[in-house]
């Protein structure tokens, strides 16, 4: 799930990324990885909420596209069903999520 909140005072959008509990049974760690953090697999850890949902909120510059994926327990890549679009990954046969801000 992706929630976008456009800021009135800055050319930015506050974006909340959240993964539902039903996709995360037994998962210990989730990282948000994408263009916005140079695909650094440890730069943006997601926090586990009391409900079991993993979430992270970041501010992104408006009028841009960002590609991202979730890294589960350091081994499994997962896409978000609520992404705006999907694009071919330049490094694997899989697709990346696309977020349009």
pTM value is 0.93
Residues 23-59 pLDDT 10s: 788 899 999 999 999 999 999 999 999 988 999 999 9
Judged against a pLDDT cut of 80, whether residue 21 lies above it is answered with: no
Judged against a pLDDT cut of 90, whether residue 67 lies above it is answered with: yes
Mean of the pLDDT values across residues 59-73?
A: 97
3-state DSSP call for residue 24?
coil
The residue ranges of every structural domain in the chain are: 2-100
Q: Which of 98, 73, 78 is nearest to 86 (CA)?
A: 98
Judged against a pLDDT cut of 80, whether residue 70 lies above it is answered with: yes
What dotted CATH number matches 2-100? 2.60.40.10
CA distance 80 to 78: 7
| Bridge partner list, 1 | none
pLDDT level of residue 9 (50, 70, 90 thresholds): very high
């Amino acid at each position: 799930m992706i929630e976008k909140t456009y800021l009135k005072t800055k050319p930015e959008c506050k974006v909340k990324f959240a993964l539902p509990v039903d996709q995360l049974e037994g998962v210990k760690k989730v990282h948000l990885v994408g263009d916005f953090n140079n695909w650094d697999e440890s730069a943006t850890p997601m926090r586990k909420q009391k409900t079991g949902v993993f979430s992270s909120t970041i501010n992104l510059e408006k009028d841009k596209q960002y590609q991202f994926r979730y890294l589960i327990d350091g081994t499994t890549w997962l896409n978000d069903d609520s992404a705006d679009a999907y694009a071919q990954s330049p490094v694997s046969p899989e697709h990346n999520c696309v977020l349009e801000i």
